[in-house]
Structure 1
Amino acid sequence: MGWLFYTDRRIKSYADEKAEITRLCTFETDIRKTELLKACKVGSIWYVAAKVTNADGSPVEDATYVTDEDGSITFGAVFLTRYDDGCWGYKDMEESAGPVESRAPLSLLALLSELKDPESYAHAWRRRCRDWAAIPDYEEGDRIKLAAPVTLTDGSTCQIVTVTHYRRGRQKRRCYRIEDTSGLVRLSKASLTGSVLLGAASPVLAEFLAGQGD
């Protein structure tokens, strides 16, 4: 499905977006009912868990999901959103369709029904979401080893770095000191996937590093 934009510009805020996402995920026919259980916004992307039940109370049969004890299934979906000249738009994708965006919180994943196929797109998506959630929130002075060397713009690589920061105006910005060269580099959170802590900074070192540039 492509992008759908609301040209009436009625969607203007977080609350408006959440209300519309809720409406889109809540509908009922003579056969089935779908209701939103949870919606979480990460950046400009909404992640949702939606529950499906049969109107006659019989168990929902589905090729992708294992039916829950109450006879329902709950699936995950991703809503990409953006504003274009003040008009809000979205593009939605169910988890089994293979969405790239994979930062759904663990609390939302816990609501989803089990999957029948461990090799499915949905299974891979959930794994990426869990990998993202598992990335540690490293502290100033922590020495870490990346899962794989990162290639820098000058062609060199780095794999062991120490968390530090630099200043831009009044703001502190996180960066990493390369062990081999002592140079500084910015790393995306995604590049920290699978990284390991080699050594936590001592309180004294962490305080010293945090104060650099003040």
Structure 2
Amino acid sequence: MGWLFYTDRRVKSYADEKAEITRLCTFEGERRKNELVKSCKVGSTWYAAARVTNLDGSPVEDATYVTDTDGSITFAAVFLTAYDDGCWGYKDMEESAGPNASRAPLGLIDLLSDLKDPDSYAQDWRQRCREWASIPNYAEGDKIKLAKPVTLTDGSTCQIVTATHYRRGRQKRRCYRIEKTGGLVRLSKTSLAGSELLSSAKGAASPVLAEFLAGRDA
């Protein structure tokens, strides 16, 4: 399916988008009912878990999903979204269609029904979501060794960096200090995949403070 844009511009905010995703995932046919279980937005992409039940109460039979104990199945849908000249639009895909966007949180993945085919597109998509979620969110001061050297715009490389930040106006922006040169670099979350924590900022706390906290815990 291609993109669909709303030329009436009724979708203008996060709340409008969430309401529209809910509407798109909630409908009732002659035999089945579809309802939204959970939705979340990551970047410009919405991820949704939708439950399907039979109106007569019988178990849902499906070629892709294992029927849950309550007779329903729950699948994931991905909605790519964008604004074009103020008009909001979306492109939707079911997880078994093999969507590229794969940053759904684990809380949503855990709601989905089991898959019958362990080698399906949906299984691969879920695994990519899990791998994305497993990338660490490092704290200020953490020293990190990247899984492989990153090539910078000047042709040099870096592999050991320390999490820090710089300011742009009133905002703090995450960046990393290069061990070799002391320079700062922005790194995407993807480049942190497989990285190793060499030393934690928490472990570098003041020994006086550590003694004080230990006394409080005693």
Check whether TM > 0.5. Answer: yes
Residue aligning to 2:134:
134
Q: What is the alpha-carbon root mean square deviation over aligned residues?
A: 1.6
Cα distance, 1:156 vs structure 2: 2.4
Cα distance, 1:170 vs structure 2: 4.3
SS at match of 1:191: helix
SS at match of 1:108: helix
Does structure 1 residue 157 correspond to structure 2 residue 157? yes
Residue aligning to 2:185:
185
SS at match of 1:81: strand
For these two proteins, the number of residue pairs brought into alignment is 204
User: Structure 1 residues 32, 171: closer, same or farther in 2, change over 3 A?
Assistant: closer
Alignment of 1:53-72 (within 5 A): 53-72=53-72
Cα distance, 1:111 vs structure 2: 0.8
Cα distance between partner residues in 2 of 1:175 and 1:80? 28
Residue aligning to 2:103:
103
Corresponding letter in the other structure for 1:80:
L
Cα distance, 1:70 vs structure 2: 1.0
Bigger drift between 127-136 and 34-43 goes to 127-136
Residue aligning to 1:203:
205
SS at match of 2:190: helix
Q: Deviations over 1:22-69 (max 9, x none)?
A: 111111111211111111112221110000112222222222211111
SS at match of 1:79: strand
User: Structure 1 residues 88, 56: closer, same or farther in 2, change over 3 A?
Assistant: same
Q: Which runs of 5+ in 1 are unaligned?
A: 205-214
Cα distance, 1:197 vs structure 2: 0.7
Residue aligning to 1:5:
5
Corresponding letter in the other structure for 1:8:
D
Cα distance between partner residues in 1 of 2:75 and 2:23? 16
Identical aligned pairs, as a percentage? 80
Corresponding letter in the other structure for 2:134:
A
Alignment of 1:170-181 (within 5 A): 170-181=170-181
SS at match of 2:132: helix
Cα distance, 1:172 vs structure 2: 3.0
Cα distance between partner residues in 1 of 2:135 and 2:197? 11
Corresponding letter in the other structure for 1:29:
G
Residue aligning to 2:124:
124
Cα distance between partner residues in 2 of 1:39 and 1:140? 30
Length-normalised TM-score, structure 2: 0.87
SS at match of 2:18: helix
Residue aligning to 1:76:
76
